[in-house]
Amino acid sequence: MRKITIGILVFPRFQLLDLAGPCDAFGEVKVLSNGESEYEIFTVGTTRGPVQSSSGITLTPDRTIFDPCPHFDTLIIPGGLGIFNLLEDSTVIDWIARQGDECRRISAICNGVFALGAAGMINGKTVTTHWMDVPRLASMFKRAVIEPDRIFVKDGHIYTTAGVTAGIDLSLLLIEEDINKKMALDVAKYLIVYLRRSGGQSQFSPLLESQAAENSVVACVHSYILDNPEARHSLESISEHLNMSPRNLTRIFKKECGMTPMNYVNDARIDFARRYLESTDMGYKDIAQRCGLESAEALRRIFVRRLGITPLEYREHFRSSSEEVESN
């Protein structure tokens, strides 16, 4: 059977799950194929000797970047707290750049994409990363096209993913490409994960994370919404409250925040609704009314349009246990 060699780079304070997740996914191919596997995996250290992960667990790599390595069909760069220390290490970055020229595929999990950026590999490429690292990635690599809400992105031979467990999503995609969809589905079932997750990263993160400058238009709108979550906010009502014209409010708001006032309001409504869905048994109609929406169907439309999942699916995924709900 043809072997597909996969190299996984390991560096001080790498994210252990970014390595273990893909290794287990590729390893299940062997289990499900009666002992045969198309994959041969090598760990490659950036330093000689054992390498400690961010969790404190230590791994001894099969090779280092200073040793002769087999030709890698696919190179995977995990993320982790130590990724930013690599960016100024020209020896490591040059090695990654060479691999990018030689490998059929090169992929980065979570903030591992920063190493691809330092190697000059994401200019003009569409990529993603963990939602918390999106602003930093955008400021450091201005020529990259960033999709902040995607679980994974493929652009040519460059593959990038969101945070941590998204490395498993990536591995299932690679297995599907290399073998077939049935094998990828069988591995997903064996690992008890989704072959394709519904929705994007926004379902895992608060949508209004950014801090607005004090006394800015965005801060004023934010405070007004927080004080009146059940109000049927409109562009006209917000403009009137701020003594501004709708046109001027929209212009200033988009400049400060990068979105329209009403998109911001809808994100706030989703964040309000999250709390009720996660911690109460409240019905969807009541939640909608408390979030300033006219009906449960309106709540559903906003969720599907913004998060790619329904309120029901969100509650099933993220709701606290019944004991926690009752204690609240």
First to last CA, the chain: 57
Residue 23 a catalytic site member: no
Active-site annotation holder among 23, 103, 110, 220: 110
Which residues, in sequence order, are CB contacts of 10 under 8 Å at separation 6+? 19, 43, 44, 45, 46, 51, 53, 59, 61, 78
Provide the 10 A C-beta neighbour count for residue 326: 9
Q: Are 166 and 133 in contact (CB under 8 A)?
A: no
Q: Which of 261, 266, 302 is nearest to 284 (CA)?
A: 302
Q: Is 258 helix (H, G, I), strand (E, B) or coil?
A: coil
Give me the helix-helix angle, 217-227 and 246-257, nearest 10°: 100
Dist. CA 26–CA 319, nearest whole Å: 31
Dist. CA 202–CA 181, nearest whole Å: 27
Maximum Cα interatomic distance, the chain, rounded to a whole number of Å = 71
Active site residue ranges: 110
